[in-house]
């Protein structure tokens, strides 16, 4: 079991970090060094003031109100998923440092309960989002439009979410953030080691598998359509400024 953890949760993390940041950097480099269209591609109406245009860009990108209007169901699942993913991302910050303020307000046990609730909600919402997307891609025009990339991403994402949820719902009561933090900080400080609580429990299988999927997902990320996460801002400019 220790070998599995070393591969997925130590060396895998390093490799993923290199591929992910290198890939995203390359992607941004490619985009920014390709000249913009000489033709004006703008769409109307546009706000008159600079502030209005900036606000519109943020609104278009984070809320996509037009998409909400034409496909409310899809939009609801997508919005909930992205929000939950953001929540999960922030929540993972506890791996590095305990949040400020909150633990003082809630106490240590209270903080763990709070994290359990928010983490569980985010975990369930993400699972629902992924299952909805998978289901949607099994029929009609959605199926015809899908390519293997779409299923691969959703499969990897499902793995990440299911194993994350597994750790939360099965081991959430016994293993808390502090234990994972010891492991994660050891990786970040290049002195990788696993705390004994992890090695002595079956949670190591879940963690290893969560990390396996996360590594693969994040390594593929920069080479997939998920670069929409950074590209959406500049592609949406046509609505507000260009």
Chain contacts with another protein (rule: CB under 8 A): 27, 30-32, 34-46, 60, 64, 66-67, 69-71, 74-75, 78, 141-142, 144-150, 152, 223-225, 227-228, 231-232, 234-236, 238-239
Stretch that binds ligand HEM, among 19-27, 104-112, 193-201, 225-233 (CB under 6 A): 225-233
Partner in contact with 69, chosen from another protein, ligand HEM, none, beta carbon below 5 to 8 Å by kind: another protein
**Nearest-approach distance from CB 83 to ligand HEM, in angstroms:** 10
- Would you give the DSSP letter of residue 43? -
Q: Which is nearer to ligand HEM, 56 or 176 (CB)?
A: 56
Helix (H) or strand (E) holding 41: none
CA angle 210, 91, 11 (to 5 degrees): 40
For 171, what's the count of Cα atoms within 13 Å in the CB-facing half-sphere?
20
Q: Which of 64, 124, 128, 131 binds ligand HEM (CB under 6 A)?
A: 64
Q: Is the dihedral of CA 169, 172, 175, 181 positive or negative?
A: positive
Neighbour-count burial for 27-39, b at 16+ CB within 10 Å, e otherwise: beeeeeeeeeeee
Q: Please, are residues 103 and 111 in contact by the beta-carbon 8 Å criterion?
A: yes
Partner in contact with 144, chosen from another protein, ligand HEM, none, beta carbon below 5 to 8 Å by kind: another protein
Residue 153 binds to ligand HEM (criterion: CB under 6 A): yes
Residue 228 binds to ligand HEM (criterion: CB under 6 A): yes
């Amino acid at each position: 079991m220790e070998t599995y953890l070393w591969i997925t949760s130590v060396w895998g993390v390093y490799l993923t970090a290199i591929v992910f940041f290198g890939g995203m950097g390359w992607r941004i480099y490619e985009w920014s060094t390709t000249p913009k269209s000489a033709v004006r591609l703008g769409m109307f109406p546009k706000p008159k003031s600079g502030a209005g245009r900036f606000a519109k860009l943020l609104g278009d990108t984070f809320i996509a109100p037009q998409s909400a209007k034409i496909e409310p169901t899809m939009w609801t699942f997508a919005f909930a998923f992205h929000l939950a993913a953001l929540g999960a991302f922030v929540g993972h910050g506890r791996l590095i440092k305990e949040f400020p303020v909150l633990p003082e307000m809630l106490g240590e046990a209270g903080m763990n309960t709070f994290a359990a609730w928010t983490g569980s909600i985010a975990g369930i919402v993400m699972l629902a989002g992924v299952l909805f997307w998978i289901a949607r891609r099994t029929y009609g025009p959605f199926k015809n439009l899908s390519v293997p990339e779409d299923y691969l991403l959703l499969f990897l994402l499902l793995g990440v979410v299911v194993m994350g949820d597994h750790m939360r719902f099965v081991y959430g009561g016994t293993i808390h953030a502090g234990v994972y933090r010891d492991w994660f900080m050891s990786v970040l400080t290049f002195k990788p080691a696993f705390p004994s609580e992890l090695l002595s429990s079956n949670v190591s299988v879940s963690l290893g598998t969560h990390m396996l999927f996360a590594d693969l997902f994040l390594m593929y990320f920069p080479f997939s359509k998920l670069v929409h996460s950074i590209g959406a801002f500049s592609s949406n400019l046509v609505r507000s400024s260009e």
